[in-house]
Structures are given as C-alpha cells and as structure tokens.
Amino acid sequence: MDRILIRGGRRLSGRVPISGAKNAALTLMPCAILTDEPLTLRNLPRLADVDGFGHLLNQLGASTAVEGARAGEFGRVMTVRAGRIASTEAPYDIVRKMRASILVLGPILAREGRARVSLPGGCAIGNRPIDLHLKALEAIGAELEFTAGYVEARAPSGGRLPGGRFAFPVVSVGATENALMAAATARGTTLLENAAQEPEIVDLCRCLVAMGARIDGIGTGRLEVAGVDRLHGATYAVMPDRIEAGSYACAAVVTGGDLMLAGADPADMGATIAGLRQLGATVEEGPEGLRVAMEGRPRPIELSTAPYPGFATDMQAQFMAALALADGASVLTETIFENRYMHVPELARMGADVRVSGRTAVVRGVGELTGAPVMATDLRASMSLVLAGLAARGETQVARVYHLDRGYERLEEKLGAVGADIERVSDG
C-alpha cells in the first residue's frame, strides 16, 4: 500500500491549479443515464471515485470514452453514452466501496421505470442513512420494496414517475440530487422544499437544464421541476472544486505561505474565505483565482459547520489542522455528521491539543507540531494530516493514501510544485 512521506517546515509559494469538483462530477455523471444521447463532461478530475463511477455506468450498459487533458490542463473530458440501459441494478460490491453510487437510483428509475440499488450500509463518518433519498423518491411517485439488502424502486405501472412534493426535514445534498434527477423527466411537476443549496446542486441543475430540463429556483432551497418528455445530450464543464481549493488555502496558512489557487471560484467559497480571514490570512480574489497568503501563527476562532452557505463540513478537518497551530484556543462544532473527528487522535500523535466532547472540539493551539506516522479513515481527515505534516518539524508518513486518491488529484505533484518536500512511497 502507498504512503505519503512529508518532510515538513517548508514555506509553500506559487500556483496550484484547482481541479474539477469531485462532488459535482459524481452527480453530473449519473445524468447521462437520463438520456440516450451522449453527455460530455469537461474538466473532470482524475480521481479514483470518478473512475469508480465510470465503471458503475459501464455495468449499467453505458459506454464511457475518456480523452486526456489538453496541454497545460488538468481536467479530462469524458463522454458517457447510455444508448440503452442493459442493467437496472447497482450491485453491493460497487455501492459498498463508493457511497455516491446511490445517485444512480433516481436516474435509472426515471429512465427505465424501475431500479434496484444495494443499500450502502455504514460509513466511516457516521451512519449516513439514505432514508431521505427514498422518502423524496416516494413523494415523486416511486413505489419501494426492500429485499436482501437492496432497495427496489418502481414507477407506477413501470412508466414515468408522476412527480410530487417533498419538504426535506433535514438538508441532504445527495437526496436533493437524486430527487432532481428523478423529477427531470416526470409526467408532472415536482416541488422540493428545504432542498440543499450547495454549489454542486447548482452545477447539477445547470447541467440538467443544458440537457433540456425545466427547473425554477436554482440556487435556492425551493426547487420546482416541470417534468419534460425527454432529455437530450449536452456538453458541460464541471465546476472547480471548492473543497480542494479550501484545502490548499489551509496549506498556505499552516506553512506561512503564499499560494495562487488558479481556477478557484471565490463565489462558491464565502464561508471558507471568511474563515481564512478570521485565521489571519490575506485572501484576494482575482481573475486567475484566489490568492491566499499568511504571516505568523493563525488566530484562534469559533466555527460551526452548516449546510451551504454555511461553513462546509468537508472543510472542518483541514481548518482543525490550522487551528492546532493557532495562538490560543478555538472551538469547532460539527453539526452535519456525527463521528467526524477521527483525525483528532492522529493529530494528537503529532502534538496537537484537541479535546472532543460530543459534536464540539476545543483546539488549543501549540507552537509546533512534530512529524509522525499517521493514518486516517476518510478523505478530508487524511488531508488534515497532510496539512499538519506540511507544518510539522520532521517527517510525517500518511498511510492509507487511497483515501486521498479518492478526492485530491495529483496531490504530491501539486504540493511539490509549490515547494513541499513530499513524495509517495510504495511498499511494493
């Protein structure tokens, strides 16, 4: 298994190209199921999860053709063509490894009138049930049955979904995405209230509109979808990854560096930018992207995660790495997922002083972190350990690199190019 080796203490400076957003890619790819015409996605990040989703689409009978990046570009172009759906099932083996596979449920059901998808089971960052996905689909007219660890969804008489109205009791990104895709070709109109407003949802809506969907209220929590008879193919560019950009912004903070996050879209990053400024970073928005510079130790802050436009739960672990070095005590509150502090014991091995009580973490900044062998159990937690390693004295080894490969395109290359001493080592 690969490990990442970091010799910390180097100031980072230069330009980091920001890739297409993983979480947008994973909801744009299943849109291809909704049409028999090709959907071409540009600026797709080169990530294990994107490859995994491609394989799932292949299993369903869609073809995927990937062109490499053009010179000077990171993003890839993928054309997905689901001329016909050969299988309406997403099997356990795939869903187990990649939770986002659940996002094929809505589109397969809309296209074929039936779908069978494995229940994802537990997940490292809390229980993560899919009850809201299912309730929203039921409200749009799906009939559900559970057998042998699978959910089977059907449209009445195997035809088109009628459409309907659903008010989400809790904001859910994935459930909103599934419902939107299912509603796009329904017979009637669907109203989604308290829908997620994340920029990735806006990206999904824009792609669906490019395919012929009719959606009102894009960017708000009240989405009205007037079902259309059919969707057509389209070419769509995936939005920049706001979480990747925020993670590299934290790399500038912890190393007292100066990074230009090329291609980042500040419009999607309000809460992160506000947080960075509170930490003491200088953040400048320009035509090329976002410049983040830092001098001295971070200032302590209070932060609570919340659905967009609040502070993203996917940025919590990276901010904690910065706060571990702050000049005072900070308070972080995680309101989205239970059990999302699994980076804490690992950061502690590097000298961080963090006390967790329920959903709250008190982080008492220390003057210095020290390198250590560490491992994490999820993607963003792994990134927080990389950040701590960049700042730490001595050598840090981050194990279980496959977590990072799920969400950070060419991590070592990007960090190495701006001055980090970082390499990937393989144990053979």
Active site residues: 123
Nearest alpha carbon to residue 125 among 311, 313, 271: 313
Q: In the range 153-172, which residues lie near ligand UD1 by CB under 6 A?
A: 170, 172
Is the distance from CB of 303 to CB of 311 less than 8 angstroms? yes
256 vs 407, which CB is nearer to ligand UD1?
407
**Binding to ligand UD1 (CB under 6 A): which residues in 83-112?**
100
Told to check if 23 binds ligand UD1 by CB under 6 A, we report yes
Which of 12, 82, 130, 186 is the binder for ligand UD1 (CB under 6 A)?
130
Find the shortest distance in angstroms from Cβ 243 to ligand UD1.
Answer: 7
d(Cα 233, Cα 281) in Å, to the nearest integer?
A: 43
Site for ligand UD1 in 108-127 (CB under 6 A): 126-127
Contact call for residue 133 and ligand UD1 (CB under 6 A): yes
Q: Which residues contact 405 (CB under 8 A, 6 or more apart)?
A: 47, 48
Is residue 369 within 8 Å of 325, Cβ to Cβ? yes
Q: Which x/- pattern, by CB under 6 A, does the window 341-380 give for ligand UD1?
A: ----------------------------------------
Bridge pairing between strands 114-118 and 150-154? antiparallel
- Find the shortest distance in angstroms from Cβ 304 to ligand UD1: 14
Q: Which residues within the stretch 27-86 sit at the binding site for ligand UD1 (CB under 6 A)?
A: none
Three-state DSSP class for 151? strand
The reply on whether position 318 binds ligand UD1 by CB under 6 A is no
In the bound complex, what is the minimum distance in angstroms from residue 386's beta carbon to ligand UD1?
Answer: 17
> Which residues share a beta bridge with 13?
258
Residue from 46, 114, 128, 424 touching ligand UD1 (CB under 6 A): that is: 128
Q: Which residue is nearest to ligand UD1 (CB)?
A: 174
Cβ count within 10 A of residue 46: 17
> Binding string to ligand UD1 for residues 175 to 214, with x set by CB under 6 A, is what?
x---------------------------------------
Query: Is the bond into 91 cis (omega within 30 degrees of 0)?
Result: no
What Cα–Cα distance (Å) separates residue 2 from each residue in 98, 390, 399, 402, 405? 20, 18, 7, 8, 10
Quote the Cα angle for 368-374-378, to 5°.
Answer: 115
Residue 262: which H helix or E strand, with range?
strand 258-262
Residues near ligand UD1 (CB under 6 A) are: 23, 26, 100, 126-133, 170, 172-175, 313-314, 336-337
